[in-house]
Amino acid sequence: MKKLDNLGVSAFCESMAMMVHAGIQTDEAISLLQSGKEHTGGMLEEGLAVMKTEVDAGRGLAAAMEKTGIFPDYALQMVKAGESSGRLEDILFRLSRYYADQKTISEKLKSAVTYPAAMLILIIAVLLVMLVMVLPAFTDVSDNMTGSLAASTYSYIHWAYAVCWIALIVMLVLAAGLIIGLAMWKNGKKEAVEKFLSKIPVCRSIFESMGMFRFTSALETFLASGEMQDEAVQQSIPMTDCAPVEEKLSRCAARMEEGHSIAQAAYDESLFEPVYGRMLLAGERSGSMESVLSRLTNLLEEKTGNLVDRLVGVVDPMLSGILMVTVALSLLSIMLPLIGMMNSIG
């Protein structure tokens, strides 16, 4: 079943958190949410109807949310932990912030794909115009002026066609790869796409940074719900959705089984950058682990956004440069014989 998007989950959690903070019971809160959206229809409204039935039957909020089938597993686990620890309000506010952050990162990633895709389309269109209209038109004009193309002129035209065709083939291959990648991503083959993209250093850094962001956010929430460190780490590992990060975290979990704390294990395994690792150690020793994790989560979110911006900053000029160089070479291949013909006429 299709899941609620990040923005929808964030809005729901924030609304529920505010009502819980105001002392409103869960069943009343769901009824209020229904009454505010009764004429809009949609996935969330259908889910609220199911939740109302479940809550009226005596089930908890987490069980009611799970029954709808529209909420992600992470949200369900967090709400369940919040109910069991008596910190539901705090957990709902944290979930709202977490999914709002996920929405921001997702939008950055979409922009990193959308603009290059638009540039690819533009480059392909320009190259097709050059091959179908500009170069043939110049060949006809030159042929009418000289009777037939001279060998030197033909050589220039030949190079112009070669440059345009090579560039067009490269752009079509890139466009096909982008389309195939998006199709695989949407059809449940996300891991295969990530494995391929991870061979590119910038993309690998983005995936690992996102994985660490999800881990620290989940760990912060689990610890806030009252879970023990080792159990919180074990439950947070699957949230990373990044195989290299999960491998590092598994080694950290193994060290924790040997008696090390999460901060020491993370530092020994270089889970974070050195400055972040020292922050975590200091937070653990001072008893402010949750606040340090919150700070780390914000820093990792900012780092992920900067890496995405850097990727866009590399790809966009590169594609623009390809477009300008290709057109410039093609026009130069046209202008050189044209100048030669004009000189001969003069």
**Residue % of the chain over a pLDDT of 90:** 1
Specify the higher pLDDT residue, 80 or 190: 80
Residue 329 scores a pLDDT above 80: no
- The pLDDT of residue 40 is 46
Half-sphere exposure of 81 (CA within 13 A, CB side): 26
pLDDT tens-digit readout, 219-229: 877 777 677 88
Angle at 159 between CA 157 and CA 165, to 5 degrees: 105
Mean pLDDT, residues 249-276: 85
Contacts of 223 (CB under 8 A, 6+ apart): 229, 232, 289, 290, 293
- The pLDDT of residue 143 is 65
pLDDT tens-digit readout, 189-215: 777 777 777 777 878 888 888 888 888
- The pLDDT of residue 99 is 86
- The pLDDT of residue 36 is 64
- CA proximity to 239, closest of 207, 217, 261: 217
Residue 325 scores a pLDDT above 60: yes
- The string of DSSP codes covering 131-177 is IIIIHHHHHHHHHHHHSS--HHHHHHHHHHHHHHHHHHHHHHHHHHH
Where in the chain are all domains bearing CATH 1.20.81.30? 101-346
Contacts of 250 (CB under 8 A, 6+ apart): 237
- The string of DSSP codes covering 43-102 is HHHHHHHHHHHHHHTT--HHHHHHHHS-S-HHHHHHHHHHHHHT-HHHHHHHHHHHHHHH
Residue 86 scores a pLDDT above 60: yes
Superfamily (CATH) of domain 101-346: Type II secretion system (T2SS), domain F (1.20.81.30)
Out of 13-22, 32-41, 188-197, 305-314, which region has the weakest mean confidence (pLDDT)?
32-41
Out of 59-63, 107-111, 178-182, 275-279, which region has the weakest mean confidence (pLDDT)?
107-111
**What pLDDT band is residue 39 in, cutting at 50, 70 and 90?**
very low
Residue 335 scores a pLDDT above 80: no
- The pLDDT of residue 145 is 59
Half-sphere exposure of 60 (CA within 13 A, CB side): 12
Is the whole model's pTM more than 0.95, yes or no?
no
- The pLDDT of residue 44 is 81
- CA proximity to 114, closest of 200, 206, 178: 178
- The pLDDT of residue 219 is 84
Angle between helix 88-129 and helix 6-21 axes, rounded to 10 deg = 160
In whole angstroms, how far apart are CA 112 and each of 176, 309, 312, 340? 17, 8, 5, 45
Half-sphere exposure of 49 (CA within 13 A, CB side): 8
- The pLDDT of residue 154 is 58
- CA proximity to 253, closest of 269, 268, 234: 234
Mean pLDDT, residues 98-125: 79
Whether the CB-CB separation of 21 and 89 falls below 8 Å is answered with: yes
Specify the higher pLDDT residue, 9 or 322: 9
Specify the higher pLDDT residue, 109 or 103: 103
Structure token digits, residue 332: 């130069």
**What pLDDT band is residue 146 in, cutting at 50, 70 and 90?**
low
Longest dimension (CA), the chain: 96
Q: Give the chain's mean pLDDT.
A: 79
